[in-house]
């Protein structure tokens, strides 16, 4: 078994390298992905090893990057697009929603569009304006797109492999505040399905459901609650579209309570969809309303205020206390 401890960002680098070694049709395209190795150095060394024809430094034009990737996919390639920061994806939103998401579905699968769009997302790094956003609900809402987000280096490695191998377009949200968190990566493992949730911590009193950057926060909440005798189950959703509602249902039927946590605003966020579906599915098992913890319905604040905006241990614990009080 090839087990190595590495940071989440380096796990993504290793995953890209493996995919490119295994399939000459896998290309990387984006702003500064080549000689610079990306702003977070995720693609560091790839252009040197695979050449400028496979690791392509693009112009500063996100719409053009995604449009080019769509054309490459139609010709049999498997392009992996890097969007430098979450806030930069919006110029490409038209291409993603009106072209990428629809061609595969409208052709009933006969036209394949194996495009992966990597987006570093979320806050917590003190970045300037337009460099910290959580736009996942905008993409999860669109039929024809798959949206996933790893929370550990091991998941980052394998989920990216699976996304690249998929014939569906996949939006791969990378939690940039967790890029430097280290964990074990088993490159010889047999991964589970891409869109299957995992239980990150077993518990009996309440379920915390999260994905990406908030999984670590929820694990910290569960550890703090355990000191006071409360057993919280932490469910890493891993996928925002499709959502593994069966896994959420199994957990809620066991614990009777659910709190959904994400960095994105609560208003029209993915937590609302989960709350509605689980209320339908688990009405007779729920002992309290499904509660949500997330960002506020306001433009993402300046860096000095982001800690007031982002969900933290205290805000999640407050929701846990409210749910347990019913």
Which residues are marked as active site?
131
SS3 annotation, 225-247: HHCCCCCEEEEECCEEECCCHHH
CA 58/CA 31 separation, integer angstroms:
5
Q: Strands, E, within the chain: which ranges? A: 3-7, 26-30, 55-57, 78-82, 116-121, 146-148, 170-175, 182-186, 198-201, 206-210, 232-236, 239-241, 258-265, 291-295
What backbone torsions phi and psi does residue 299 show, to the nearest 5 degrees?
-55, 145
Residue with tokens 């309303």: 289
32 contacts 38 by C-beta, under 8 angstroms:
yes
């Amino acid at each position: 078994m090839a087990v190595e401890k590495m940071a989440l960002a380096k796990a993504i680098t290793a995953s890209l390298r493996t995919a490119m070694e295994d399939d000459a049709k896998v290309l990387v395209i984006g702003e500064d992905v080549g000689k610079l190795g990306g702003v977070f150095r995720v693609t560091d060394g790839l252009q040197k090893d695979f050449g400028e024809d496979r690791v392509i430094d693009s112009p500063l034009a996100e719409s053009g990057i995604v449009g080019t990737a769509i054309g490459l996919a139609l010709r049999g390639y498997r392009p992996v697009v890097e969007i430098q920061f979450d806030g930069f994806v919006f110029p490409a939103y038209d291409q993603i929603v009106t072209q990428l998401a629809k061609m595969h579905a409208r052709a009933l699968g006969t036209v394949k569009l194996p495009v992966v769009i990597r987006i570093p997302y979320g806050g917590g790094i003190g970045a300037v304006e337009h460099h910290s956003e959580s736009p996942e609900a905008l993409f999860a809402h669109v039929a024809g797109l798959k949206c996933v987000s790893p929370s550990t280096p091991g998941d980052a490695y394998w989920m990216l492999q699976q996304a690249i191998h998929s014939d569906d377009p996949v939006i791969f949200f990378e939690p940039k505040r967790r890029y430097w968190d280290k964990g074990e990566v088993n490159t010889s493992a047999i991964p589970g399905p891409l869109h299957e949730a995992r239980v990150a911590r077993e518990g009996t009193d309440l379920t915390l459901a999260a994905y990406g950057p908030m999984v670590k926060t929820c694990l910290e909440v569960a550890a703090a609650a355990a000191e006071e005798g409360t057993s919280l189950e932490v469910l890493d959703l891993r996928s925002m579209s499709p959502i593994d509602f069966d896994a959420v249902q199994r957990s809620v039927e066991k614990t009777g309570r659910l709190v959904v946590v994400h960095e994105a605003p609560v208003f029209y966020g993915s937590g609302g969809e989960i709350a509605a579906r689980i209320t339908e599915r688990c009405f007779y098992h729920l002992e309290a309303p499904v509660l949500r913890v997330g960002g506020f319905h306001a433009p993402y604040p300046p860096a000095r205020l982001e800690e007031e905006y982002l969900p933290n241990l205290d805000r999640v614990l407050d929701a846990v206390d409210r749910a347990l009080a019913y």
